[in-house]
Structure 1
Amino acid sequence: MPMYTLGLIDYTNVAPLTAHLRDLEGLRYERGVPTAMNAALLEGRVDLSNISSFEFVRNAHRLAALPDFSVSVLGPVYSVNLFHRRPWAELSGQRIALTSQSATSVQLLRVLLEASGVNAVLERAEGDAFTLLDQGYAGVLRIGDDALREWYRVAGPLGERDSMLTLPHQRGDVIVTDLAQRWYDLTGHPFTFAVWAYRRDNPPPAEVVQMMREARRAGIGELGNVARSRAQGMGLPARVIQHYLWNFRYHLEAPDKKGLARFADLACPGHAPLHFGDL
């Protein structure tokens, strides 16, 4: 196999897909945050990567996606959150801090605010949610492992007899709005945060795709072990991480594609048709 580069995002939500990836002759790995992998794929520095669904949609004329891989949820995601002190409906005219790590989450927030008739002032600012709120932002968009930890700071602790589904979404004056849950409430569809995409002129070798499918099967089959491994580095209970992981849909099934198509139409009107490779 000629040299081939697979881009990886080191977030907990993709650990079941990546924990059991193995070495193949000619295969190398590159890691980064979602926006870095988006750029690396489009610039030709990686050949196949887990990328933001919005970037896939925006570049649909150039990209194709594996037909059976995604990072999707039906309902809460726990790690794509707006932290805010004013009620959602009162955020018009208020400043909201946006992360630069994910194009999809920013566009999802825009879509949800617009659907609510909320005209907020969106600004780029990095930092933890509580620091940025204390600096005067009315809302802070946070994603990934940091967002999960900060959500648990509001919602936790999780007692032995508690369910993740019954934990609160407010502590003191800090409210956490889960954007995937709000999307489901708006549309009734799952939300697809990411797909595994490649440039149409450079489809992945069959052995790479097969190895990825085998790794996914092994990772999902050992979800408890994956959760315990990730929990150690995150400072969260393994039960929280395990619930978080089994909440994801990793196979891009028909409902996920419907949700992705709805998001594409709302976030990127006039986009090129989405293409899913026959691999």
Structure 2
Amino acid sequence: MSYILGVPRYANTAPLYHFLEEGEGLVFRYGVPTELNRWLLEGEVDLSLVSSYFYLKNADRLRPLPDFSVADLGPVYSVNLFHRKPWSELRHIALTTESATSVRLLHYLLERDGLEVRYTHEQGGLELLERYDGVLLIGDRALSTYVGLLSIVPESVHQIPVQPGGVFVSDLSMRWFTHTRLPFVFAVWATRSHEPPPAEVVRRLRVARSLGLGNLAAVAGTEAQRLNVPERLMQHYLWNFRYHLEAPDRLGLEAFASAVGLRYPNCFWEV
């Protein structure tokens, strides 16, 4: 019988599975985070990367692996609110339908700043700014959209503009860091709480991650070609991520749970 792994096909998750091969009982099923969340609860996948907000909301039904995450300390570059008005003047925002975590983080950041904003779920890109004050994009689309606004490829991360092409780009992970000085955890590997993951599958995931991080230039080259973005920017983008759910990441996850009124269970599989 096959063991089904739920995988979001985003560049920032590629180091986790670039060197992981299907076969020997392991099968991939690709989807966006909201699909993967649903599939895991419904039993259509056995182990999946799920969004952190979804995990926290369903902590009684899910349990994560102890040492895997997709997290970031500071700017993430791919969870962006694009807007033409300043942050303090935002009143109506178009939301991605791909990620519950990014949407909830945006709600929290705006509420914390005392802003009353209306939200509409819409598919699309920057053309939505003709009808909305801002549009939230995540993952590959957010990264490609941001790169598309750049007139030149910066030599240094400190030269990356925050208003390229006259469009404000608010990086939600950076806003979280400015407020908390903690990493933000976007996703964890999790299974249903009554179905522990096979040790061999976890071993293969750990080996694949080691190979991915040890050969990050190769992973970045593949993803840069796929998305048609400069390889140097892709390398920096992937360097930023934290994939091991270390102590600072767990503190960040706990802080996010508290910020959105959820319980942090601090309960992981022992594998």
Scaled to the shorter chain, the TM-score interval is over 0.9
Instruction: Give the match for residue 147 of structure 2.
Output: 152
The one-letter amino acid of 1:76's match is P
* 1:181 CA displacement: 0.2
The one-letter amino acid of 1:3's match is S
Cα-Cα RMSD: 1.2
Structure 1 residue ranges, 4+ long, deviating more than 3 angstroms after superposition: none
Give yes or no for contact 2:257–2:264 (8 Å, CA) kept in 1: no
In 1, distance between residues paired with 2:264 and 2:186?
19
Query: 1:65-76 alignment to 2 at 5 Å?
Result: 65-76=64-75
- Normalised to the residue count of structure 2, the TM-score between the two structures is 0.97
Per the alignment, do residues 270 and 76 of structure 1 end up closer, same or farther by CA in structure 2, a change over 3 Å counting? closer
Give yes or no for contact 2:61–2:193 (8 Å, CA) kept in 1: yes
In 1, distance between residues paired with 2:151 and 2:247?
34
- Deviation sequence 1:77-115 (CA, Å, 0-9, x none): 000000011111111xx2100001000000000010011
Per the alignment, do residues 164 and 155 of structure 1 end up closer, same or farther by CA in structure 2, a change over 3 Å counting? farther
In 1, distance between residues paired with 2:128 and 2:73?
29
Asked if 1:95 is matched to 2:84, the reply is: no
Q: Between Structure 1 and Structure 2, how many residues are aligned?
A: 271
Query: 1:1-279 alignment to 2 at 5 Å?
Result: 2-91=1-90, 94-128=91-125, 130-134=126-130, 136-159=131-154, 162-267=155-260, 269-271=261-263, 273-279=265-271
- Deviation sequence 1:109-128 (CA, Å, 0-9, x none): 00100111111111101101
In 2, distance between residues paired with 1:212 and 1:174?
39
Give yes or no for contact 1:82–1:141 (8 Å, CA) kept in 2: yes
* 1:155 CA displacement: 3.5
Q: Helix, strand or coil for the counterpart of 1:217?
A: helix
The one-letter amino acid of 1:5's match is I
In 1, distance between residues paired with 2:26 and 2:226?
27
In 2, distance between residues paired with 1:80 and 1:227?
18
Give yes or no for contact 1:63–1:275 (8 Å, CA) kept in 2: no
Give yes or no for contact 1:158–1:164 (8 Å, CA) kept in 2: no
Give percent identity, aligned residues only.
51
- Deviation sequence 1:12-48 (CA, Å, 0-9, x none): 0011101011234222211111111000001010110
Give yes or no for contact 2:94–2:121 (8 Å, CA) kept in 1: yes
Give yes or no for contact 1:86–1:138 (8 Å, CA) kept in 2: yes
Give yes or no for contact 1:57–1:274 (8 Å, CA) kept in 2: no
Per the alignment, do residues 188 and 272 of structure 1 end up closer, same or farther by CA in structure 2, a change over 3 Å counting? closer
- Normalised to the residue count of structure 1, the TM-score between the two structures is 0.94
In 1, distance between residues paired with 2:262 and 2:39?
25
Q: Helix, strand or coil for the counterpart of 1:64?
A: strand
- Deviation sequence 1:115-164 (CA, Å, 0-9, x none): 11111111101101x20002x200100000010011112344214xx112
Q: Helix, strand or coil for the counterpart of 1:69?
A: coil
The one-letter amino acid of 2:123's match is E
In 2, distance between residues paired with 1:178 and 1:235?
21
In 2, distance between residues paired with 1:62 and 1:193?
19
* 1:5 CA displacement: 1.0
Q: Helix, strand or coil for the counterpart of 1:68?
A: coil
